[in-house]
Amino acid sequence: MSDTVGKRIQILRKKRNWTQLDLAEEVGISSTYMGEIERSETNVSYEILAKIAKALDIPLSDLVLYSDKLSLIENKDTLVEIIELLSSRSLDIQHDVLSIIEIYLSGNDRESSK
């Protein structure tokens, strides 16, 4: 399992304000094993990944969605902090923040091309 899938599980778990123990109990595994999964220290069966997805109430594909892009991020903890900040905000605010990020990045793209 790639480390990005483990990080994705952690992000989705934290977004729900769950501990590793909370998710582990929903899945039927130990919290130690859940920690190993999130840190990508162990191989995980398809069956366990499916149970994790079900517990998080998402399609299994959402666990691996964007995992290739997430692997390009050097400081994944920053991304987790951003997600935590946004998860408690309304959808409108989340969209506003996305727009601000897009504007900021497009400005930086213009600056770097000079």
Q: Specify the pLDDT at position 63.
A: 76
CA torsion, ordered 71, 77, 82, 84, to nearest 10 deg: 120
pLDDT digits (tens, 9 = 90+) for 31-87: 999 999 999 899 899 999 999 999 998 888 877 766 666 667 777 778 778 877 888
Q: Specify the pLDDT at position 77.
A: 77
